[in-house]
Amino acid sequence: MRIRAVVSATLASAGILIAGWQSGTHVADTASATGTTAGPASAGSTGAGTGTTGSAGSGAGSSSKSSSGSAGSSAAASGSTGSSGASSNAGGTFAGDVVQTRFGSVQVQISVTGGKITDVTALQLTDEDRRSVQISNRAAPLLRAEVLKAQSANVQTISGATVTSSAYLTSLQAALDAAHL
Amino acid sequence: MQPTSDLEVPQLKAKTFRCMGTVISLTVPVAPGKGSAAGELALTAAAAAVERLFRELDARFSLYRPESEASRLARGELQLRAASQDFRDRYAEAADWRLLTEGAFTPERPDGVPDLSGLVKGFAIKEAGAALQALGHGDWCLNAGGDVLVAGSPIAGGQASWQAGIVDPQDRRTLIAAFPLGGSTAIRALATSGSAERGDHIWTSGAGVSTFRQVSVAAADIVTADVLATAIVAGGIPMLNRATSGWDVEVLAIRNDGGILATPGFRA
């Protein structure tokens, strides 16, 4: 269920990107140089896909991979535009809007080469919000030594499969209770 | 208790009673400076309220009591639609869980008799917790046969979490893990189910032997923790993955061969 949500969010995000990128190519002239020189931040630049397609201009963007759009703003297409040249067949990497899903924020980045999407990667799958951590909350194999440990001396209660009244007598919980009677 | 430098060592007081075939423990911190007699009285009253609640539910839902409503239903003397509102409410809740767990948790025995014992203990703990809150208790730990619900802190008025240990199923005298409950976290409940302990309360879906020997689930509420722990023992890996993706829970599952599967919250 979660996977489906993520995939659909990813697709939606990619769709937005593509739309933005296409509109970006059309309005490339008006490009409104927001993201270009400012380096990775480009905060506040909302308009999806505002240019940067060909527009050699900056070169600043080329190295920085738009590390996870800071202010949550779409940071659309703040990415690298590849090198200066490729104006006709636009290429580069483009970060999509941050999309809120019930599992948290999701943001994807597409790589375009020769006008085709060649890669889709997830820039952001989680954030500080606890629920969204669940996106990676799958139970994975763990060695005994890797598990959160406790000595019976510093726990206040014991969880275990239901003990019968008689089994309780020899249980750790009984020992704890006896110590606190 | 081993002394720690900057942490206060909890001073605790406990009361226990037997019900539902197991032992229920109520533990509260001792307020420093407070007269021990007053604290003792408050704890006794709180434990009595909890015990009354457990006994009422046990009298209605126990299949071990021939005169209980559950037993009359099992013998066919009573139809479900003629059962008490309480019984039908719990049955409806259990049926909802059957849907949510895609059948891994079920309110019926294989022979079709309604068996709500997988739900009733968790429900009793939840109700007891509500009663304790209503009585004005902010810090307590309620343990019913290994299923735990806490509020507040083991230090009276403190911020520290309760530390719950989880029994190692291969050696019940040792702990395999720990988990913090309460304190500043929203996770207040920890339930553990096993395939070896009381086989009578988990009906595995299909004829197969369970993949898991013991499953612990930490959640915000005890019914969710308890039901999901039971469901994962019954439903195996697919149910484990459904639980971790569909609910805000942490899971520690121990395979029959001793291997461990755990969500990040259980990682040291």
Percent of chain B, pLDDT > 90?
A: 73
Same domain for A116 and A158, yes or no, is: no
Q: Is some CB atom of chain A closer than 8 A to the CB atom of B5?
A: no
A103-141 tens-digit pLDDT: 666 777 888 888 888 887 777 665 544 444 445 678 888
Lookup: tokens for A66: 């738009």
- Compute CA distances A153 → A175, B3, B29, B169, whole Å: 11, 10, 16, 19
Find, among A145, A173, A146, the residue nearest to B164 by Cα.
Answer: A173
Select from B14, B194, B268 the Cβ nearest to the Cβ of A146: B268
B94-123 tens-digit pLDDT: 999 999 999 999 988 888 888 898 899 999
Residue of B8, B249, B260, B267 to mutate, testing the A interface (most A Cβ within 10 Å of its Cβ): B260
CB contact under 8 A, A162 and B23: no
Determine the Cα–Cα distance for residues B81 and B93; give it in Å rounded to an integer: 15
Chain A hits for B190, Cβ within 8 Å = 159
Same domain for A115 and A38, yes or no, is: yes
Say if CB B250 and CB B187 are below 8 A apart.
Answer: yes
Chain A hits for B165, Cβ within 8 Å = 150, 152, 155, 157-159, 172
Chain B hits for A131, Cβ within 8 Å = 248
Q: Is some CB atom of chain A closer than 8 A to the CB atom of B244?
A: yes
Determine the Cα–Cα distance for residues A22 and A34; give it in Å rounded to an integer: 18
> Among A72-76, B149-153, B200-204, B247-251, which is the least confidently predicted range?
A72-76
Q: What pLDDT does residue A4 have?
A: 61
- Which string of DSSP letters, residue by residue, matches chain B? ----SSSPPP-EEEEEEEETTEEEEEEEEPPTTS-HHHHHHHHHHHHHHHHHHHHHHHHHH-SS-TTSHHHHHHTTSS-GGGS-HHHHHHHHHHHHHHHHTTTSS-SB-TTS-B--HHHHHHHHHHHHHHHHHHTT--SEEEEETTEEEEES-SSTT--PPEEEEEEETTEEEEEEEEEEESTTSS--EEEEEESSS-GGG---SSSPPPSEEEEEEEESSHHHHHHHHHHHHHHHHHHHHHHHHHSS-EEEEEETTS-EEE-GGGB-
Select from A147, A153, A156 the Cβ nearest to the Cβ of B27: A156
> Quick check: B37 pLDDT over 90?
no
Chain centre to alpha carbon of residue B161:
18
Q: What pLDDT does residue B147 have?
A: 96
- Going A157 to A161 to A164 to A169, the CA torsion angle's sign is negative
B162-196 tens-digit pLDDT: 999 999 998 888 899 999 999 989 999 999 999 75
Chain B hits for A153, Cβ within 8 Å = 1-2
Out of 3.90.1150.10, 3.30.420.40, 3.10.520.10, 3.40.50.10860, the CATH code matching B12-266 is 3.10.520.10
Residue of A101, A135, A136, A159 to mutate, testing the B interface (most B Cβ within 10 Å of its Cβ): A159
Same domain for A105 and A19, yes or no, is: yes
Categorize the per-residue pLDDT at A82 as very low, low, confident or very high, splitting at 50, 70 and 90: very low
Find, among A96, A79, A138, the residue nearest to A11 by Cα.
Answer: A96
Same domain for A169 and A127, yes or no, is: no
> Quick check: B260 pLDDT over 50?
yes
Token look-up 């738009």 returns A66
Averaged pLDDT score across all residues of chain B: 89
* B38–chain A nearest CA distance, Å: 15
> Among A94-103, B61-70, B110-119, B222-231, which is the least confidently predicted range?
A94-103
Percent of chain A, pLDDT > 90?
A: 3
Say if CB A81 and CB A94 are below 8 A apart.
Answer: no
Q: How many interface pairs between A and B have CB atoms less than 8 angstroms apart?
A: 198
Q: What pLDDT does residue B195 have?
A: 77
Question: How many domains does chain A fold into?
Answer: 2
Token look-up 């089994």 returns A167
Helix (H, G, I), strand (E, B) or coil at A16: helix
Q: Is some CB atom of chain A closer than 8 A to the CB atom of B68?
A: no
Helix (H, G, I), strand (E, B) or coil at A141: strand
- Going A154 to A160 to A165 to A170, the CA torsion angle's sign is negative
> Quick check: B126 pLDDT over 80?
yes
Burial class of residue B177 in the structure, from the number of CB atoms within 10 Å of its CB (0-12 exposed, 13-18 middle, 19+ buried): buried
Q: What pLDDT does residue A28 have?
A: 40
Q: Is some CB atom of chain A closer than 8 A to the CB atom of B40?
A: no
Same domain for A163 and A80, yes or no, is: no
> Quick check: A54 pLDDT over 80?
no
Range of the domain at A172: 144-180
Categorize the per-residue pLDDT at A3 as very low, low, confident or very high, splitting at 50, 70 and 90: low
Q: Is some CB atom of chain A closer than 8 A to the CB atom of B210?
A: no
Residue of B4, B18, B23, B215 to mutate, testing the A interface (most A Cβ within 10 Å of its Cβ): B23
Same domain for A176 and A158, yes or no, is: yes
Find, among B9, B21, B212, the residue nearest to A162 by Cα.
Answer: B21
CB contact under 8 A, A155 and B194: no
Lookup: tokens for B148: 């735990």
* B89–chain A nearest CA distance, Å: 24
- Compute CA distances B176 → B164, B216, B218, whole Å: 11, 11, 15
CB contact under 8 A, A134 and B166: no
Determine the Cα–Cα distance for residues B239 and B232; give it in Å rounded to an integer: 5
Lookup: tokens for A54: 């060909």
Q: What is the mean pLDDT of residues A147-162?
A: 83
Specify the higher pLDDT residue, A102 or B258: B258
Q: Closest residue of A to B190, CA-based?
A: A159
Q: Is some CB atom of chain A closer than 8 A to the CB atom of B92?
A: no
A27-52 tens-digit pLDDT: 444 333 333 333 343 333 333 443 33
> Among A24-33, A150-159, B139-148, which is the least confidently predicted range?
A24-33
Determine the Cα–Cα distance for residues B202 and B212; give it in Å rounded to an integer: 12
Same domain for A31 and A12, yes or no, is: yes
Q: Is some CB atom of chain A closer than 8 A to the CB atom of B263?
A: yes
Q: What pLDDT does residue A7 have?
A: 54
